[in-house]
Chain A
């Protein structure tokens, strides 16, 4: 598929005159998004601030974010892929089946209007949230957003950006990419990094029961995973590192309380646009940092007899 056309949030603040939020509720989940980056700031090239921008909200239900929208488009649940694919066709002035299009919850006229607005924008941005990436279609929904944004560049400047949530998921993506080549779902059991979403991604491993131990850091799968995955975590030796006792802690063998990163532990966080920011702890904690704990675990493991045959290097499979 196409690729990825994006920018840092300051570009949005300074230039964007057309903002689409798709499958996300920034008013509640990214509460400073409108005021810091996308709607109210006076940008270098959008000196009128809010008046110089149009915001479109696309979602399956009307959330508080709709109050800030100039246009709210309600689509039927699970139809994001159909809508995005139809938009891609309309952008290219291709024929679309009107009846099937209406099955998305939007009429052909509404879809065509959205396309016209996007093309008329000076600088358009498509922010997409979990309503896109986690609903039926999953990664293909995300791919549809990315490809639509890339294709709109034939007509005007258009970018997209995922509305990342929960702590430093972007940071984890960055570090894993530079050190292993892949953003997530990495298997190191053959000695070198391998990647295959659906095979090595967390939910798939847990639900299938493909792993026989788990170390959980900065996440709470005991609350978010499907039931078979949770049951598997409870069966195998599970170790949790977290500032709080979580759902996962309750079914783990070991819970180690660690200092909260960003509050009592230093580090770097990567914003949703991949800009790195330093974390300077404001408070002290009686607990060790995640880093200290992992280093101690590694030292203890290093003292055990080596198990990897030195000749592993010749057995690449990819």
Chain B
């Protein structure tokens, strides 16, 4: 099924019906009639998208859908490919299946997701895999891979799963983290790991740390070598060769007090 954006919404368009679970059993005409919300008005999918193709688990969306929100909400299966940009809450509450975006996404990518795979070739916004306001947990499973940069509070309140960044992230990556892994290949701005109680943040670039993180040792943990193998299957690498350097391990956040760790790669001085 291919949906091509033909009309830019003047205000954000909420399109949670664009999800394999909803679309898979439907014929194109039924899909065209599905509701989308433009502000307070309920309209049809075909008011904004050309719909072509056959029913099934694969959905392709073409165009600059930066203002289209909630695509893939709560999906449990199937594949979404977005050739262009996507709006907020892409893959929020996702349980399974996969989403791939060639362009950029907005805030709340994979918010509170529990399974599945999201891959973004461009940049993401803030609150990647994060908890919505007041929730006890953010993402509890699944994998989010972003080649570009992201904004604030990446992985906030994360309990399980993996977020891997290519570019830099802004403040509060891993805020209130309880578990899971965040890999920051492009480093971060301030307050990484703030108030974390458990979990692992790996940074390949030096990052400023809160006073409540204390240096414990430099090494390359065994589990990281296993992770590195897994990361290679996902398409990126992290250094693990002791000839090349090691990871400075910081524990924190002492304000909780937490048992999280931040591993910062330090290349061996040549």
Contacts and interface: CB of A to CB of B under 8 A. Distances in A.
Instruction: Assess A/B contact in the complex (Cβ within 8 A).
Output: yes
Contacts of B213: 97, 100
Interface in A73-101: 81-82, 85-86, 88-89, 92, 94-98, 100-101
B211 A85 contact: yes
Interface stretch (A17-25, A152-160, A266-274, A305-313): A305-313
Given A136-B171, A196-B132, A196-B133, A81 B191 contact: yes
Interface in B103-146: 107-108, 126-127, 132-133
Contacts of A96: 211-212, 214, 254
**Residue from A103, A140, A197, A211 whose CB has the most chain B CB atoms within 10 Å:** A140
Given A212-B10, A312-B42, A199 B88 contact: yes
B40 A189 contact: yes
A190 interface: yes
Contacts of A98: 211
Interface of A: 1, 81-82, 85-86, 88-89, 92, 94-98, 100-101, 103-104, 136-137, 140, 188-190, 195-199, 210-212, 307-309, 312, 315, 317
Interface stretch (B11-19, B198-206, B235-243): B11-19
A223 to B, nearest CB: 25
User: Mostly helix, strand, loop or mixed at chain A's interface?
Assistant: loop
Contact of B210 (A94, A100, A308): A100
A309 B42 contact: yes
A88 B256 CA distance: 8
A198 B127 contact: yes
A317 B16 contact: yes
A95 B172 contact: no
A97 B107 CA distance: 33
Interface in B2-24: 10-12, 14, 16
Contact of B107 (A199, A210, A307): A199
Nearest to A317: B16
Pairs A-B, 4 closest by C-beta atoms: A88-B255, A100-B211, A94-B254, A89-B254
Given A92-B257, A94-B255, A195 B212 contact: no
Contacts of B11: 210-212
B211 A92 contact: no
A114 to B, nearest CB: 14
A82 B190 CA distance: 10
A137 B171 contact: yes
27 contacts: A81-B191, A82-B191, A85-B210, A85-B212, A85-B253, A86-B212, A86-B255, A88-B255, A89-B211, A89-B253, A89-B254, A89-B257, A92-B254, A92-B255, A97-B214, A97-B215, A136-B171, A137-B171, A137-B191, A189-B40, A190-B37, A196-B133, A197-B133, A199-B107, A212-B10, A307-B41, A317-B70
Contacts of B40: 188-190, 307-308
Nearest to B89: A199
Contacts of B214: 95-97
B255 A198 contact: no
Contacts of A89: 211-212, 253-255, 257
Contact of A82 (B37, B42, B175, B211): B211
A188 B40 CA distance: 8
Nearest to B251: A95
Contacts of A104: 211
A190 B11 CA distance: 14
B194 A81 contact: yes
A95 B255 CA distance: 9
Contact of A85 (B12, B108, B133, B194): B194
B170 to A, nearest CB: 10
Contact of B133 (A82, A100, A188, A195): A195
Given A85-B195, A140-B194, A189 B209 contact: no
B176 interface: yes
A96 B211 CA distance: 6
Contacts of A103: 211
A210 B210 contact: no
A308 B41 CA distance: 7
A210 B11 CA distance: 5
Contacts of A100: 209-211, 213
Contact of B254 (A95, A199, A212): A95
A137 B210 CA distance: 13
B257 to A, nearest CB: 5
B176 A1 contact: yes
A81 B212 CA distance: 11
Nearest to B127: A198
Contacts of B171: 136-137
Contacts of B133: 195-197
A103 B191 CA distance: 13
